[in-house]
Amino acid sequence: MANKEEILEGLAEIVNEETGVETADVQLDKSFTEDLDIDSISMMTIVVNAEEKFGVTIPDEEVKNLKTVGDAVNFIENAS
């Protein structure tokens, strides 16, 4: 099971691959849409890749609740 730091690093790599956002910019307090400028299509790709990487399922109705990187890290940590 991955800890918060490992999840953050993995998520930062996924975000970087999908959007080109620098991994150092992917911080717990950053909003996916406002701070990182990630659109809904890219977000769905990030979610699918995160599910594969961390072996979790993120239901579609939960995705809208993942407003910040920290929200996603906490969800993945609790789901794994």
Tokens of 44: 């769905």
Q: How far does the chain reach from its first CA to its final CA, in angstroms?
A: 6
Contact 17, 52 (CB under 8 A): no
Task: Please tell me which residue in 29, 37, 39, 60 is annotated as part of the active site.
Answer: 39
35 is catalytic: no
List the catalytic residues. Answer: 39
